[in-house]
């Protein structure tokens, strides 16, 4: 066994061991960033190149517009989408199921409606359906931010419950929900008040809402929580503007926080490896933090920050952990590797394009898609990286791909693609 392969395998085991027993099977892609929630796939024989004549199994037109990532369970794909045109001054918000074998839409349900006012305060890049759903035990939890949340039966698309938490969503909805125990948890960080919200997943009723203890001038954010085990307790890690906090599932109590002086409109999601949380701080002057998580409580800003890095950090794409290094992708295309122990810059590679989607790691390869629709397969090494292939999809995309078994599921502006060597 080569040293490189051994450490790559160790990275995958470290990233997946926490979540696979409680939060999904490793051969599914049932939540944002995959089964371990950290952009790692155990897929094998994944194509490293494709074209119209090679490795594209099907390409299906998807109605509306949305940047939620595709989810896959039992041969069925789940997507959300929003209709840009209005009917009676309302936008239709939809959930659909696609047959992974054929690309056929099996059902398409209008689940919620958004007013013109709710839909108009969006960043130009954002859609009405950017948060990625979560799936557990035959239920789809589709979240549309301030426009509402809905639970659906996986097989039929029947609505089980609806809930709407009203708040001012600057730039539109972005953060995805997570399932933990009997809860569905997401952020409702408005400009006026940043709040972490939990619903009972069986009923949609509010379980708790916790106002963040540290607030800044621009409180709005779009973070996606991450569930970890810390010192024998389950914690919901929720990054926001000016701080990252840990919250108890049972009552929403904030157990610890780390403050950062610059950073708001949080979109990147942390990763958690061997007791260390690695995360960016959002917009303004984005920095990157490594935070030791060891069961401590309270304000850990001055005691538990292992290192910080301040140059060319991502505002939107989430990081990856490969062979003892943290890989970050800056929105303008700067791919770089930081030593996980020290924060030292190992290497930097400029990429062509702009980036919002988060990379997916398969072994020592990263699958990366640009906003312009350029797909890159990049081999990551300790001393640099190698661009293996580049493919133009011909449509913009801000959606992170799903990589399951030997297949890539990629969403672009108008289509969903299945890419596999079985074609």
**Would you tell me how many other CB atoms lie within 10 Å of the CB of residue 407?**
21
Element (H, E) at 140: strand 139-143
121 pLDDT tier (thresholds 50, 70, 90): confident
Q: Where do the structural domains in the chain lie, given as residue ranges?
A: 3-420
| Most confidently modeled range among 79-93, 95-109, 298-312 | 95-109
pTM value > 0.75? yes
- Mean predicted confidence (pLDDT) in 266-281: 90
Q: DSSP letters of 32-95? A: TTTTTTSSEE---S--S--BTTBSEEEEEE-SSB--PPPEEETTEEEEEEE-SS-BTTEEEEEE
pLDDT at 416 over 80: yes
Residue 126 pLDDT: 84
Question: What is the pLDDT confidence band of residue 189, given thresholds at 50, 70 and 90?
Answer: confident
**Helices and strands (H and E) in the chain: how many:** 2, 34
How confident is the model over 376-395, as a mean pLDDT?
97
**Helix (H/G/I), strand (E/B), else coil: 303:** coil
pLDDT of 220 over the 70 cut = no
Cα gap 103→407, rounded to integer Å? 13
Return the bridge partners of 279, or none: 289
For residue 399, name the pLDDT band (cuts at 50, 70, 90). Answer: very high
pLDDT band at 223 (very low <50, low <70, confident <90, very high): confident
In percent, the amount of the chain with pLDDT more than 70 equals 90
Please provide the CATH number assigned to the domain covering 3-420.
2.130.10.10
Segment 99-128 shows an average pLDDT of 90
- In the predicted model, what is the mean pLDDT of the chain? 89
The DSSP result for 169-232, as a single string, is -TT---PPPEEETTEEEEEEE-SS-EEEEEEETTT--EEEEEE-SS--S--------EEEEETT
- The vertex-16 CA angle with 335 and 255, nearest 5°, equals 90
Instruction: Extract the tokens encoding 239.
Output: 């990054």
Q: 3-class DSSP state for residue 127? A: coil
Q: Residue 337 pLDDT > 60, yes or no?
A: yes
Given this model, what pLDDT does residue 22 score?
34
Asked if residue 283 has pLDDT above 70, the reply is no
Flag whether pLDDT at 23 surpasses 80: no
Contact 189, 240 (CB under 8 A): yes
Pick from 27, 18, 31, 248: nearest CA to 136: 31
pLDDT at site 53: 87
CA–CA separation, 330 and 313 (whole Å)? 5
| pLDDT band for position 422 (cuts 50, 70, 90) | low
Q: Decide: 3 and 9 in contact? Cβ < 8 Å.
A: no
pLDDT score, position 172: 73
What is the per-residue DSSP string for 391-421? EE-SS---SPPEEETTEEEEE-SSEEEEEET
pLDDT at 19 over 90: no
Name 363's Cβ contacts closer than 8 Å, sequence gap at least 6: 5, 8
Residue 39 is encoded by which pair of tokens?
């952009």
pLDDT at 10 over 60: no
pLDDT surpassing 50 at residue 194: yes
């Amino acid at each position: 066994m080569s040293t490189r392969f051994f450490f790559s395998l160790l990275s995958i085991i470290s990233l997946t061991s926490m979540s696979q027993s409680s939060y999904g099977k490793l051969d599914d892609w049932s939540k944002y960033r995959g089964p371990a929630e950290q952009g790692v796939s155990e897929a094998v024989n994944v194509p490293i190149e494709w074209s119209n004549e090679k490795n594209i199994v099907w390409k299906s037109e998807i109605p509306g517009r949305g940047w939620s990532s595709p989810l896959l369970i039992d041969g069925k794909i789940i997507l959300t989408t929003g209709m840009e045109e209005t009917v009676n001054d309302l936008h239709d918000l939809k959930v659909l199921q696609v047959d992974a074998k054929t690309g056929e839409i099996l059902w398409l349900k209008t689940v919620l409606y958004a007013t013109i006012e709710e839909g108009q305060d969006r960043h130009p890049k954002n859609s009405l359906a950017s948060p990625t759903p979560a799936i557990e035990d035959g239920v789809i939890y589709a979240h549309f931010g301030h426009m509402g949340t809905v639970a659906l039966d996986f097989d039929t698309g029947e609505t089980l419950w609806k809930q709407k938490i009203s708040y001012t969503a600057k730039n539109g909805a972005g953060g995805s929900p997570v399932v933990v125990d009997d809860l569905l948890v997401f952020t409702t960080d408005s400009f006026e008040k940043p709040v972490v919200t939990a619903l009972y997943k069986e009923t949609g009723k509010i379980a708790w809402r916790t106002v963040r203890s540290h607030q800044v001038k621009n409180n709005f954010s779009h973070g996606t929580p991450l569930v970890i085990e810390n010192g024998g307790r389950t914690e919901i890690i929720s990054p926001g503007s000016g701080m990252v906090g840990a919250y108890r599932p049972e009552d929403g109590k904030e157990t610890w926080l780390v403050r950062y002086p610059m950073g708001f409109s949080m979109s990147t999601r942390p990763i958690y490896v061997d007791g260390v949380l690695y995360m960016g701080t959002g917009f303004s002057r984005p920095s990157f933090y490594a935070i030791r998580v060891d069961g401590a409580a309270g304000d850990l800003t001055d005691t538990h920050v292992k290192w910080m890095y301040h140059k060319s950090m991502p505002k939107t794409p989430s990081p990856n952990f490969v062979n003892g290094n943290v890989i970050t992708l800056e929105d303008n295309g700067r791919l770089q590797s930081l030593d996980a122990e020290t924060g030292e810059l190992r290497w930097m590679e400029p990429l062509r394009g702009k980036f919002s989607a988060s990379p997916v790691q398969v072994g020592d390869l990263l699958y990366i898609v640009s906003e312009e629709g350029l797909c890159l397969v990049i081999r990551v090494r300790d001393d640099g990286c190698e661009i293996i292939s580049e493919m133009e999809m011909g449509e913009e995309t801000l959606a992170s791909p799903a990589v399951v078994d030997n297949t890539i599921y990629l969403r672009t502006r108008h289509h969903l693609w299945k890419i596999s060597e079985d074609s």
